[in-house]
Amino acid sequence: MPLRRNRRRLPLPRWLRLLTAIAACLAQVAASCAPAGPPPPAADSLRVYFLNVGQGDAALIITPDGVTALVDGGDRFRGAELVKWLRSIGLQKLDWVMPSHPHADHIAGLNLVLEELPVSNALLSAQANDTQTYRRQLDLLREKGVPVTDAVEGLTIPLGGHVTATVLNPPAGLLRTSEPEEDNSVVLRVCIAVNCMLFTGDIGDGGERSMIARYGTAPERIRSQVLKVSHHGSAEPNHPDFLTMVQPDVALIGAGLTNPFRHPSQKALNRLGASGAAIYCTFVHGTLLVELTESTYRVQQMRDLAIRPTSRGRVVPAPPLSPEPCRAQ
Ligand SMILES: [Zn+2]
């Protein structure tokens, strides 16, 4: 029979009991202060925050299952605020980053996000770019061990149940156009049942023509209630034939006030208006929250992400529910 040693429990010294009590108390306080995780999505709601990042694009998708995807991350002037904002809504990590194409107004801010937050997956256009910003992005993805998926037409991205996310551009082998970086932008259609939002990056005339050719006979594959307007509302894309295929009810434009590119153009605004879409611009309406459910969708104005001026277009705080129309610059 094994010898059982009878251990007598000695009472803890008073100072140690006090220390233990303080540690337990601090742990409780820390727990109550800790971010509670991403804002709990409504059970059936797909949320897209279309962020006011001045002259650039950035959108955060949160699916009903809580899967998060950051589509673009604005320019380098917005990166720190973007990280701060993501943390402020309780995000300590991202499931996906999805830079539409390798231009600085979409990825320089995203690089800061990659530096600061753990990221599980990246969806990239295979179209390379010879810039320091793009090389930095690839280095960061490699350093952090983030698995990279090349976007190609037909690919579906797992964003949890209830939601389907399909890549519509670029096609296999990429497009050979005069503006390959823009035209090979990742075009992503994210749907909950029949309600969809289309992200178009900066596809230009060549990319859009290719999409008209590829989807013209099957527009149901591209039709979307909410359209992230291509290339900040520039005049080259946003062709009436493209808009006829998409049939957007709502068009969102990311642009900075008094930006040097004069985005959006009056021509694009006219075409979008003629398509019947309600048009919202970040430089007028600020950050917008799109909520899509299986049966409906709505767009709301949010408190702004940033109000500091940048060198490439001022970011202004938006008045709540501004009736002001989106205007050309
Ligand atoms: Zn851009």
User: Can you give the CATH number for the domain in which 187 is found?
Assistant: 3.60.15.10
Ligand 1 centroid–CA 297 distance in Å is 26
Q: What is the structure's pLDDT at 232?
A: 97
The strand order across the sheet containing 288-292 reads 148-150, 119-124, 94-97, 68-73, 58-62, 46-50, 288-292, 297-301
Q: What is the structure's pLDDT at 322?
A: 61
Looking at the structure of the chain, the number of domains it has is 1
Query: Residue 48 CB: number of other CB atoms within 10 A?
Result: 25
Rg (CA), the chain: 23
Alpha helix segments (H runs only) across 155-239: 180-183, 205-215
Distance, in Å, from the CA atom of 180 to the CA atom of 127, rounded to the nearest integer, reads 7
Ligand 1 centroid–CA 257 distance in Å is 14
In a domain, 5, yes or no: no
In a domain, 199, yes or no: yes
In a domain, 4, yes or no: no
pLDDT in tens, 59-77: 999 999 999 999 999 999 9
Contact predicate 213/242, CB 8 Å: no
In a domain, 21, yes or no: no
**Residues in the chain, overall count:** 329
Distance, in Å, from the CA atom of 195 to the CA atom of 181, rounded to the nearest integer, reads 29
DSSP-assigned letter for residue 105 = H
In a domain, 38, yes or no: no
Residue 219 belongs to domain spanning: 43-301
Ligand 1 centroid–CA 57 distance in Å is 7
In a domain, 2, yes or no: no
In a domain, 223, yes or no: yes
Q: What is the structure's pLDDT at 298?
A: 87
Positions in the chain short of pLDDT 50: 1-9, 21-22, 24-38, 40, 306-321
Ligand 1 centroid–CA 233 distance in Å is 10
In a domain, 72, yes or no: yes
pTM, to two decimals: 0.84
Ligand 1 centroid–CA 100 distance in Å is 9
